């Protein structure tokens, strides 16, 4: 489970303080597929960084699997990410001098896991790349590179996976296939998948959409259209949501 409680993020600016996130509150149950949407500058990337423990909020808290990330040191947050978090990036972030198989093996070998080659082969087979394991990123299409990145992200069987604009560099048909793959892996693995995107076609495939505007949650609804939590102003007034 992922819980964001009254998150605020502020930066000093020439005109005073710039509030990038304002009283963001929601709970994401384990195994959910959620899309966080909003225009450029709405705070999506900042929120993703806080949820993943890459940054800390100015106030409020983030709890992942019962662990308050805001109470951990930077090293402890990094250790928790290695154990429980996976990432998929818009730009794939593959190592160009390594094959597809080696790219997926890297995080497994860094953790000292036995049977890294076998697990990497199994993951690549699962994403439809059984015949492309020995190819380098430059020999793969954009969609194939993203599939390698997805296999790598699932290598540590993450409790939660964050995908930052995972179809942003792909054409519509290839992007749709990547979304279908994420849906399939979400259902089969039980991992929570949080997709940050501006693509509403992609977002509508998720079971829930959280919409940001000017740093605040302005909509939070399930796939059937039902609201799931109060919007930001109401959350800010709730004593239960005030950060400790």
User: What are the tens digits of pLDDT across the range 168-223?
Assistant: 877 878 778 888 888 888 888 888 999 998 888 888 888 899 999 999 999 999 87
Q: Specify the length of the chain in residues.
A: 244
Please state the pTM of the whole predicted model. Answer: 0.81
User: What are the tens digits of pLDDT across the range 123-135?
Assistant: 899 888 999 999 9
Q: Which CATH architecture has domain 30-58+71-227?
A: 3-Layer(aba) Sandwich (3.40)
Distance CA 126, CA 104 (A): 12
Q: Could you tell me whether strands 59-64 and 67-68 are parallel, antiparallel, or unpaired per DSSP bridges?
A: antiparallel
Closest to 44 measured CA to CA, from 230, 159, 214: 214
């Amino acid at each position: 489970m992922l819980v964001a409680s009254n998150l605020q993020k502020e930066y000093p600016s020439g005109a005073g303080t710039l509030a990038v996130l304002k009283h963001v509150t929601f709970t994401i149950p384990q195994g959910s597929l959620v899309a966080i949407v909003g225009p450029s500058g709405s705070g999506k990337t900042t929120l993703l960084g806080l949820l993943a423990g890459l940054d800390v909020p100015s106030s409020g808290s983030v709890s992942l699997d019962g662990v308050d990330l805001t109470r951990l040191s930077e090293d402890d947050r990094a250790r928790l990410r290695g154990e429980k978090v996976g990432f998929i990036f818009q730009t794939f972030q593959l190592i160009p001098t390594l094959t597809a198989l080696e790219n997926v093996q890297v995080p497994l070998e860094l953790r000292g896991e036995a049977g890294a080659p076998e697990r990497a082969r199994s993951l690549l087979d699962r994403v439809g790349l059984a015949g492309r394991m020995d190819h380098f990123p430059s020999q793969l299409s954009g969609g194939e590179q993203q599939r390698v990145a997805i296999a790598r992200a699932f290598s540590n069987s993450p409790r939660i996976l964050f995908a930052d604009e995972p179809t942003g560099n792909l054409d519509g048909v290839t992007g749709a296939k990547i979304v279908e793959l994420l849906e399939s892996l979400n259902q089969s693995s039980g991992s929570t998948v949080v997709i940050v995107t501006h693509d509403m076609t992609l977002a509508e495939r998720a079971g829930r959409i959280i919409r940001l505007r000017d740093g605040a949650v302005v909509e939070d609804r399930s796939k059937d259209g039902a609201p799931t939590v109060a919007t930001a102003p109401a959350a800010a007034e709730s004593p239960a949501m005030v950060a400790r």
